[in-house]
């Protein structure tokens, strides 16, 4: 059965040959694109399509027997499902023409294509968001620590300035007080000297007055 015969076989079930051709093309295109991108397409009861990587190896040319090196490559592989195998082996009877040989797959059993791509994209976005959130948290933490250090340093500088200002004021006040005390002490000493020198002069005057009596 080729593709045209396949289309004819399902034309009556999907509403016409045109619809059948579009359905076959869409299914095959989705499978090919999924497998090429590295996804695995699995249809319950039918089988799975996947991409297999083959490493570089040596093989023999069947015609000449010459040993040749085969490069690393990727090939598509199809694995039949258990239901398909049972029908082919004869362990299960093939349903009549009006029934479907492969049962309908439950929701979520078809992996690959757009759904797998969407899931991968969502996973990548979630990972990117987590990484961005971690970076933002780290930046905020560093910013907080830096701000705290700057605030602490500024507070220390302000405290040091205030302490220095207090010490300077105290020194100036002490020096001024010492100067004032020294001036007062000097003034007292000067006054005391002046007072002491006036006493003898008065006594001398009295002596002169007393001595003048007899002379009279």
Domains and their CATH numbers in the chain? 3-118 (4.10.520.10)
Tell me what percent of the residues of the chain surpass a pLDDT of 70: 77
Q: Is residue 57 a contact partner of residue 70, using CB atoms and an 8 Å limit?
A: yes
Considering only the C-alpha atoms of the chain, give the largest distance between any 2 of them, rounded to a whole number of Å. 183
Range scoring the smallest mean pLDDT among 29-38, 77-86, 98-107, 188-197: 98-107
User: What is residue 114's predicted lDDT score, i.e. its pLDDT?
Assistant: 45
Tokens representing 128 are 């990117």
pLDDT of residue 187: 80
Three-state SS for 80? strand
Q: Kindly report which listed range (54-58, 79-83, 110-114, 128-132) carries the lowest average pLDDT score.
A: 110-114
For residue 2, the 8-state DSSP code is -
Rounded to two decimals, what is the model's pTM?
0.45
Say whether pLDDT at 37 is over 90. Answer: yes
More confident residue, 10 or 144: 10
161 versus 120: the higher-pLDDT residue is 161
**Which residues have C-beta within 8 Å of that of residue 17, sequence separation ≥ 6?**
7, 8, 11
Interior/surface letters 14-52, b for 16+ CB within 10 angstroms, e for the rest: eeeeeebbebbeeeeeebeebbeeebebbbbbbbbbbee
pLDDT of 18 above 80 = yes
- Supply the mean pLDDT for the chain: 78
Q: What is the pLDDT of residue 196?
A: 61
Predicted pLDDT at 25: 95
What proportion of the chain, given as a percentage, has pLDDT over 90?
A: 35
Q: What is the mean pLDDT of residues 153-180?
A: 77
For residues 85-102, give the mean pLDDT.
83
Contact 112, 42 (CB under 8 A): yes
Spatial distance between the Cα atoms of 115 and 113, rounded to a whole number of angstroms = 6
* Cα 29 versus chain centre, distance: 39
Q: What is the pLDDT, as a whole number, of residue 119?
A: 55
| Residue pointed to by tokens 């005391």 | 192
Asked if the model's pLDDT at residue 207 lies above 80, the reply is no
Distance between CA atoms of residues 41 and 116, nearest Å: 9
Predicted local confidence at residue 118, as pLDDT: 46
């Amino acid at each position: 059965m080729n593709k045209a015969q396949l289309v004819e076989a399902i034309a009556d079930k999907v509403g016409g040959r045109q619809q059948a051709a579009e359905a076959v093309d869409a299914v095959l295109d989705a499978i090919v694109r999924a497998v090429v991108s590295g996804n695995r397409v699995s249809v319950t009861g039918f089988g799975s399509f996947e991409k297999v990587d083959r490493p570089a190896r040596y093989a023999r040319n069947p015609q000449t027997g010459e040993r040749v090196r085969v490069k690393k490559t990727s090939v598509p592989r199809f694995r039949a499902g258990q239901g398909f195998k049972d029908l082919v082996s004869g362990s299960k009877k093939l349903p009549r023409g009006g029934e479907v040989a492969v049962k309908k797959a439950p929701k979520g059993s078809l992996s690959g294509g757009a759904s797998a791509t969407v899931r991968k994209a969502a996973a990548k976005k979630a990972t990117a968001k987590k990484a961005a959130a971690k970076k933002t948290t780290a930046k905020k933490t560093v910013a907080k620590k830096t701000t705290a250090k700057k605030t602490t340093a500024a507070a220390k500088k302000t405290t040091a300035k205030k302490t220095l200002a207090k010490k300077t004021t105290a020194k100036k006040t002490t020096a001024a007080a010492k100067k004032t005390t020294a001036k007062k002490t000097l003034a007292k000493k000067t006054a005391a000297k002046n007072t002491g020198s006036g006493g003898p002069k008065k006594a001398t005057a009295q002596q002169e007055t007393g001595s003048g009596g007899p002379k009279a």
